[in-house]
Amino acid sequence: MKFSLLVLASPYSQQGGLSALKFAQTCLKGGHEIYRVFFYNEGIQNGSFLQTPQQDELNLHSQWTKLAEQHQLDLVICIAAALKRGLLNESEAKRYDKPQYNLQAPFEISGLGQLLDAQINSDQLITFG
**Residues taking part in catalysis:** 78
C-alpha count within 13 angstroms, C-beta hemisphere, residue 93: 12
Q: Is the peptide bond preceding residue 11 cis, with omega within 30 degrees of 0?
A: no
Measured between alpha carbons, how far apart are the two ends of the chain, in Å?
A: 22
